[in-house]
């Protein structure tokens, strides 16, 4: 999107009411973007067949978008033996299928109009790092990373970039995805930086990926975890 100033650029943010989504909307708005945000109850990402239609409707209403950010997701905690097909289908529908549906509709619209575009998704460090109770969630994010690579490979020559960020734990204090404070405190104690992530930490990198300085970054999932993906200070060790 070279030659286009931020004041001329428009973005659709899916999951705009969530912690990371709100931070992205606020930052892009401050940077002069034209931001269209959407979330529940306007669109239910767990329902099949509605996401692409919703993106198409907003595209027509707003006259198209230069970028799409998918920042929605669910984060259930369940042991493997309690992770049934219903849980798997719900998590995959929200975290992965809706991203595919939104992304493919965005690509179709861009190609039909001969315009470039940028797709960004919120993945997770859990895609590559096991943690108790997150097997299904991790599977959905690993699948999302694969979609990022596939979209980038197939549509790079259409002028479309596709990337993701992989946060560590981010304390968004969500009513949809409630997390016990004891868990947050334990992660804080283990953190390389002495704190867990904040929505603004993730939004900063997402917004950088939308800018011209990231124009040669494509098909990659960028870790944004304060270093927690490299290890933990509370792991067993033999140092005195």
- Residues belonging to the active site: 123-124, 137, 141
| CA distance linking residue 231 with residue 215, whole number of Å | 30
| CA distance linking residue 166 with residue 145, whole number of Å | 9
The strand ranges marked E within the chain are 10-14, 34-38, 67-70, 117-122, 160-167, 221-224
* Radius of gyration for the chain, computed over Cα atoms and rounded to the nearest angstrom: 18
DSSP 70: E
| CA distance linking residue 80 with residue 137, whole number of Å | 11
First vs last C-alpha separation in the chain: 54
Q: Are 51 and 57 in contact (CB under 8 A)?
A: no
């Amino acid at each position: 999107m070279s030659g286009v100033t931020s004041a001329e650029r428009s973005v659709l943010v899916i999951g705009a009411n969530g912690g990371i989504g709100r931070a992205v909307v606020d930052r892009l708005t401050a940077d002069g973007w034209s931001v269209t945000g959407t979330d529940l109850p306007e669109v239910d990402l767990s329902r099949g067949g509605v996401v692409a239609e919703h993106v198409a409707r907003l595209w027509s209403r707003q006259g198209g978008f230069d970028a799409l950010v998918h920042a929605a997701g669910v984060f259930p905690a369940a042991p493997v033996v309690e992770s049934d097909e219903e849980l798997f289908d719900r998590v995959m529908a929200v975290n992965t299928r809706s991203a595919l549906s939104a992304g493919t509709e965005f690509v179709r619209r861009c190609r039909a109009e001969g315009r470039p575009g940028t797709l960004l998704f919120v993945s997770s460090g859990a895609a590559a790092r096991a943690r108790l109770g997150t097997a299904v969630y991790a599977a959905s994010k690993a699948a999302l990373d694969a979609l990022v690579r596939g979209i980038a490979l197939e549509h790079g020559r259409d002028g479309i970039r596709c990337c993701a960020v992989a946060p560590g734990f981010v304390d968004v204090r969500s009513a949809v995805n409630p997390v016990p404070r004891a868990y947050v405190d334990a992660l804080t104690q283990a953190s390389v930086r002495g704190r867990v992530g904040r929505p603004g930490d993730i939004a900063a990198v997402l917004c950088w990926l939308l800018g011209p300085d990231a124009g040669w970054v494509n098909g990659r999932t960028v870790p944004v975890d304060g270093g927690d993906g490299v290890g933990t200070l509370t792991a067993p060790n033999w140092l005195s």
